[in-house]
Structures are given as C-alpha cells and as structure tokens.
Amino acid sequence: MKNKKLLLTTSSDKCVIIAEVENNHPYNEREYVISRDMLNVNLKSGLFTEITDHSDWDSGRVWVYSEDLIT
C-alpha cells in the first residue's frame, strides 16, 4: 500500500467503489481520498466487499458498495 491512496469514487457502470490508486493519480471534485481506517470500518460492517479478483483494475485492490452487488 506504500505510495498508494484510497479513492472513493464510482465505476464506469456507476457502482460506488473504493480503489487503491497511485499517490499521483488525479481525481475530481466528486471523488474523495479516504483513510485506511475508514475502509476497515466499512469492510467490518459489511458495507463494502472486495472484488479485486473480479475487476480489470490493475493498479491495486478494489472494493464495491455491497448493495451495488445485489442490483
């Protein structure tokens, strides 16, 4: 995770995701950098689910808002 940040954003198919991105990755006003602690709280509560193995994102791990998996 060194030289990475966590970006809360939406995917191309409009799912809410948290993605590991490089520190110099650009982001816009609708995207937010979050802390590792915030990710861990959301994972523990079940709000987000890791989908790295099912994603074509190659810059790091990816988690999706669990309710977006249902729809």
Q: What's the confidence (pLDDT) of residue 20?
A: 96
Cα separation of 57 and 25, whole Å?
A: 13
> What pTM does this model have?
0.90
Q: What's the confidence (pLDDT) of residue 10?
A: 96
| pLDDT for 19 beyond 60 | yes
Measured between alpha carbons, how far is residue 26 from residues 5, 17, 21, 30, 32 in Å? 11, 16, 9, 12, 11
Q: What's the confidence (pLDDT) of residue 59?
A: 87
Q: What is the dihedral of CA 33, 35, 39, 41, to 10 degrees?
A: -140
Q: What's the confidence (pLDDT) of residue 29?
A: 93
